[in-house]
Amino acid sequence: MVLNDADAMQLALAEADLAAAAGEVPVGAVVVKDGKVIASGRNAPVDGHDPTAHAEIVALRAAAQVLGNYRLDGCEMFVTLEPCTMCSGAMLHARLQRVVFGAADPKTGAAGSVLNVFAHPQLNHQTQVQGGVMAEECAQLLQDFFQHRRAAQRQARHVLREDALRTPEGRFTDLGDFSWTTHYINDLPALAGLRMAYVDEGPQAAGLTYVCLHSKTGWGYQYRQMLAPLLSAGHRVLVPDLVGFGRSDKPKKEAQHSLDWHGRILREWMQHLALHHVVLVVQAADPLGQALLTAMPEVFHGLLVLQPASAHEADNAPFPDLGHRAAPRAWARRAAEQGAAAATGISHEKMRQLACPPGSQAAQQAAIYLT
């Protein structure tokens, strides 16, 4: 039986499938002579630690062994992806009669996409090139591969560190009034792979951005009733769960929860989001809030100090057991060590100076929704 182009490309696709199964970028190739496959190859640079192990090179080497000749006169190459410069050059050296490829490669293709090695009369006297045979199938295979790989990488980025806990999602499902989308970040240097959760609602271009810090025993849920009125007033509202609280990862060691560390995380997070014109909202005087105001005054437009909300049963949802409570334990111990006055740090007068004007809409909303 003599193979037609589609049959030969189908065999190259089967090689590409095998490459994908081995975790390599799925590109496959076969060499055909007199209508019969004499050699095949699949992409394998990762497995072989070999930058030249492209499907075409592998297939060329195998074909040359079969023929006992480095010149592959009268042979045709079928490859699922447009060859790169290296492979195109090798094909010219092998004096292939014809090259047929499937999908074009707009990034590194050297058979017409980026450049065309085969179109130089000084280099090439005999090799014909044809592209686009079963192009859709060939491209789909590559797309699927990269899509799966990206999904796997996303998954890997959210792997929980061994020295941390993550509250099961089921603890949050029965809570009312809190259907905001949770965003996660874990690629800030200070987080060192831990995952921090936050709510980010409202337009990015809003005139004011409210950053709401929860109390030292609670989590972002404390702001559930303040979000809607602030959003309807056109503001952007961000509510982080500090690391160790809420949906954020919870390091088990109390010593991890230094004020300095939490301050660095929040600064990096705010810089990452490129926030400006920020109104900082804190529950009572808060050394973490004070540290932020001092470290990046240019970012802040105002400060809103709320009456501490009465403890809500749902505050306990993020802490299924004592093991999850390293962060609140650490905060409580530090407050006790420093004494209440020192822990406050910032005077009420100073806070008033920074605060939103009394009677402002935001202050009224805060008074309504958090007392």
Active site residues: 56
Select from 52-60, 235-243, 259-267, 316-324 the region that touches Zn ion (CB under 5 A).
52-60
Nearest approach, Cβ of residue 87 and Zn ion (Å): 3
Q: How far is CA 41 from the centre of its chain?
A: 33
Taking the complex as a whole, the smallest distance from the CB of residue 314 to Zn ion amounts, in Å, to 58
Are 284 and 263 in contact by the 8 Å Cβ rule? The answer is no
Question: Nearest-CA neighbor of 88 among 64, 65, 61, 57?
Answer: 57
How many CB atoms within 10 Å of residue 20?
A: 20
Q: Give the interface size with Zn ion as a residue count (CB under 5 A).
A: 3
Phi, psi for residue 353 in degrees, rounded to 5 = -60, -40
Shortest Å distance, C-beta 40 to Zn ion? 15
Q: Between residue 74 and residue 103, which ones bind Zn ion under the rule CB under 5 A?
A: 84, 87
CB nearer to Zn ion: give 63 or 356.
63
Question: Is residue 29 close enough to count as binding Zn ion by CB under 5 A?
Answer: no
Write down the least CB distance from residue 125 to Zn ion, Å: 22
Q: For residue 59, which of 74, 44, 73 has the smallest C-alpha distance?
A: 44
Angstrom distance (rounded) from CA 83 to CA 80: 9
Q: Cβ of residue 99: shortest distance to Zn ion, in angstroms?
A: 12
CB 86 → Zn ion: shortest distance, Å? Answer: 5
Q: Which tokens sit at 72? A: 């592959």
Closer residue to Zn ion in complex, CB, 54/236: 54
C-alpha atoms less than 13 angstroms from C-alpha of 82 in its C-beta half-sphere:
24
Q: Please, which residue, 54 or 325, has the CB nearer to Zn ion?
A: 54
User: Is the CB of 99 or the CB of 314 nearer to Zn ion?
Assistant: 99
What tokens appear for 225 in the block? 């009733």
CB closer to Zn ion out of 133 and 212: 133
| Using rule CB under 5 A, residue 54 touches Zn ion | yes
Give whichever of 53 and 230 is closer to Zn ion, judged by the CB atom. 53
Residues 106-145 that bind Zn ion (CB under 5 A): none
Write down the least CB distance from residue 45 to Zn ion, Å. 9
What is d(CA 91, CA 93) in angstroms, rounded to the nearest whole number?
5
Of 99 and 280, nearer to Zn ion (C-beta) is 99
Block residue for tokens 């079963």: 134
Looking at 78-168, list the stretches that DSSP marks H as alpha helix, in order from N- to C-terminal side. 85-94, 135-157
266 binds Zn ion (CB under 5 A): no
CA 340 to chain centre: 41
Question: For the range 353-356, what are the long-range contacts, defined as Cβ-Cβ under 8 Å and sequence gap of 24 or more?
Answer: 354/293, 354/300, 354/302, 354/303, 355/302, 355/303, 355/304, 355/305, 356/279, 356/302, 356/303, 356/304
User: Could you tell me if 62 and 80 are in contact, meaning their C-beta atoms sit under 8 angstroms apart?
Assistant: no
Binding interface with Zn ion (CB under 5 A): 54, 84, 87
